[in-house]
Structure 1
């Protein structure tokens, strides 16, 4: 679906708090990418949580869909995979429906039992033992990146730190040629981009061209690994795994895209969001510098406050009453993690960024139940190490301009954050 360029040029001077309260409930469309690009999504969800926690949007560029905005409702639906499907054959995990020929099977967009056996193939890479093996490598790379940052001049933190560190980690997980690591970030961005004129991709056809390039590269790596002894990298695990070694090329591509996006977006946007939030909350930054051990609770609080993936979709397999509403078979349902993470019934004072929050892992940013993010512990570990090394190596970092945010309702991301490290 192409978003008209006029969407990008709408009037900015809007009182969204007033608009969210005044507009008819059935006209609220929280799937509008502008709300996230302009960072004005909060009042719309506040109203839905209060007045219509199970909300039907009849008209949107993505078609009609239901929204769940309360923490407890999202959890209830997450665990009911017999009624609400993730399957790519029904539309998968985003609200954007694709024609059958563009379907991209991946284990997050599958239901049990196939989901379970495919997920199990890659789980060893994020086992506690393996994470311990990664720790020294991650720390050495973080130190090298931080030590190489320019002093006394403005630069984009997203590019120099967040993308670089996540691309290096992804290259390690896939045992991917290190010199080509930025291709992984690019493929991740293309896979989740909203097509519009002048955007990263302008059409689904253009996205498919990039996917063909991605698949060609990964097929070469598959052929190398499948003909060699099993190794502890993701491609070798998929090539030798009983549940994945006979995948179609399209399913292989789908799982590769899933693992790239999973390893890229959560960590990259949390690495940027954390610096932004501490800049916006200088008392919290002072608290952190005085007591560095608060990094342990700060890392999950950053992930909650950023919510790098705003929602996941399910499709109803039968007519079902949920939250007092009748959801029909075939209806799309979006579980808005970004709203559940700001639900005051579940999280105390949720609109504040609090680095010593008592129960910081109560958030929904990793999902819940059988589809909970497989790499959640790795994401947290990378974030913790980054902040340990920042405190040790950088006495000051100044955010010197406004962040530039991604035009997407799915990836809640930041593409630019201008910062300066004093000389």
Structure 2
């Protein structure tokens, strides 16, 4: 955690700023995944918030789309369900349209009233009583993982800690076969990757083939659970709830993918981001080491600072004038959480990482309104316990180089993060 490394070298950062502030706004494509892979998107959103907070991109690899970049404007879109739809049938919740033949409903990609009915089936997983039970498991597995980390040599924090601990948690939540738990990691990555020659899969068909393997595996587990007495895992909850027990295959896989990605990518990338953030802010690292009680505010601050999902998308159900711009029925509207979380009209010193902020939960990383992440408290609990266990063991986790970032403008994450723990 000690030591400081730079996000970009000075010349690269200056070049990104120069380009973002010099090219015409009608040439802006802030959803270009390459900007996220290189971590150079920030100045583009700085300019959009200042000059074009509701911006139309006419041409991109994802087609035309609107960008909403200010905190309060995003909140207004999030809460206007009558006009802005999450429905999978209209393209879903990401800037990338799912091809019509592969569109699958999940409760996050569903409008009212069906949204709430399906969401309620898994809500008991996240009650205070159940979280207290999960906390015991989280602490035990976190301790085992951290105690087995290599000392004095460089290793990948993403693989050894972030992926392993979040995948273990997912396996517990689903009561998933332990020896196959890394399948969950693979399916999460497959669900969000952009197909291409350098991606995890070359084509959309290849991606869909792996997702069908996911569906078939879970269908076997489902058939077991539905014939057993109800239990407290997510799959059993859905199998025995009226709103979800008769889901068609597309809705079934849609909800599985939602729960897998929601339980994996967000916590996993925030856990990696927490190590990276402290390495870049050694003053905050010292503050945390000297006062571990700050974990309670450190956790939501790192969730804001990292913003593990860069955006959510809606589709306009009718023509509407919004902040002086004319959005048409059928238009794609992208709410950039990464931008809202750096809006200095709402968040003081938003680019600073401040682990004792007065209001650390003022952020958009979990969404807002009816689609606010159902697993918020579990995500915070998991990060809190892991960091309590880290601070018991280590006072020097050195980030040994720049992370390799995910090629995605949806999942804002890390493929690798090299670290070294002093021997």
TM-score using structure 1 length:
0.96
The equivalent residue for 1:197 is 197
Give the deviation of 1:396 after TM superposition: 1.4
Is 1:206 aligned with 2:172? no
Between the aligned partners of 1:266 and 1:211, the Cα distance in structure 2 is 20
The equivalent residue for 2:312 is 312
- The superposition leaves residues 309-363 of structure 1 with CA deviations (integer Å, 9 ceiling, x where unpaired) of 0000000000001011010000000000000000000100000000001100010
The equivalent residue for 1:77 is 77
The equivalent residue for 2:109 is 109
The equivalent residue for 1:326 is 326
Give the deviation of 1:99 after TM superposition: 2.8
Structure 1: which 5+ residue stretches go unaligned?
1-10
Give the deviation of 1:12 after TM superposition: 6.9
Would the aligned equivalents of 2:311 and 2:337 in 1 still touch at CA under 8 Å?
A: yes
The equivalent residue for 2:177 is 177
Between the aligned partners of 2:210 and 2:323, the Cα distance in structure 1 is 41
Aligned length, in residue pairs? 413
The equivalent residue for 1:383 is 383
Between the aligned partners of 2:99 and 2:399, the Cα distance in structure 1 is 43
Instruction: Show structure 1 runs of 4+ deviating over 6 A.
Output: 11-14
The equivalent residue for 2:276 is 276
Give the deviation of 1:13 after TM superposition: 8.6
- The superposition leaves residues 265-294 of structure 1 with CA deviations (integer Å, 9 ceiling, x where unpaired) of 110001000000001110100000111100
Between the aligned partners of 2:154 and 2:222, the Cα distance in structure 1 is 41
The equivalent residue for 2:7 is none
The equivalent residue for 2:6 is none
Superposed counterparts of 1:16-415, under 5 Å: 16-415=16-415
Give the deviation of 1:249 after TM superposition: 1.2
Would the aligned equivalents of 2:174 and 2:234 in 1 still touch at CA under 8 Å?
A: yes
Give the secondary-structure state (helix, strand or coil) at the position aligned to 1:335.
strand
Give the deviation of 1:136 after TM superposition: 1.1
Between the aligned partners of 1:226 and 1:272, the Cα distance in structure 2 is 37
Between the aligned partners of 2:129 and 2:27, the Cα distance in structure 1 is 50
Give the secondary-structure state (helix, strand or coil) at the position aligned to 2:162.
helix
The equivalent residue for 1:8 is none
Would the aligned equivalents of 2:67 and 2:335 in 1 still touch at CA under 8 Å?
A: yes
Give the secondary-structure state (helix, strand or coil) at the position aligned to 1:312.
strand
Give the secondary-structure state (helix, strand or coil) at the position aligned to 2:361.
helix
Give the deviation of 1:199 after TM superposition: 1.1
- The superposition leaves residues 181-237 of structure 1 with CA deviations (integer Å, 9 ceiling, x where unpaired) of 110011000000011103101111000110111011000000000111111101111
Would the aligned equivalents of 2:92 and 2:98 in 1 still touch at CA under 8 Å?
A: no
Between the aligned partners of 1:187 and 1:113, the Cα distance in structure 2 is 29
Give the secondary-structure state (helix, strand or coil) at the position aligned to 2:63.
coil
Give the deviation of 1:295 after TM superposition: 0.4
Between the aligned partners of 2:410 and 2:98, the Cα distance in structure 1 is 15
Between the aligned partners of 1:99 and 1:259, the Cα distance in structure 2 is 21
Between the aligned partners of 1:202 and 1:32, the Cα distance in structure 2 is 19
Between the aligned partners of 1:343 and 1:198, the Cα distance in structure 2 is 33
Give the secondary-structure state (helix, strand or coil) at the position aligned to 2:353.
coil
Structure 2: which 5+ residue stretches go unaligned?
1-10
Give the secondary-structure state (helix, strand or coil) at the position aligned to 1:67.
strand
Of the structure 1 ranges 151-160 and 94-103, higher mean CA displacement relative to structure 2 is found in 94-103
Give the deviation of 1:16 after TM superposition: 0.7
Give the secondary-structure state (helix, strand or coil) at the position aligned to 1:362.
coil
Give the deviation of 1:300 after TM superposition: 0.3
Give the secondary-structure state (helix, strand or coil) at the position aligned to 1:419.
strand
Between the aligned partners of 2:107 and 2:172, the Cα distance in structure 1 is 21
Give the secondary-structure state (helix, strand or coil) at the position aligned to 2:82.
coil
Between the aligned partners of 1:320 and 1:193, the Cα distance in structure 2 is 32
Give the deviation of 1:395 after TM superposition: 2.7
Tell me how large the CA RMSD over aligned residues is.
1.1
The verdict on how the C-alpha distance between 1:366 and 1:103 changes in structure 2, with shifts beyond 3 A counting, is same
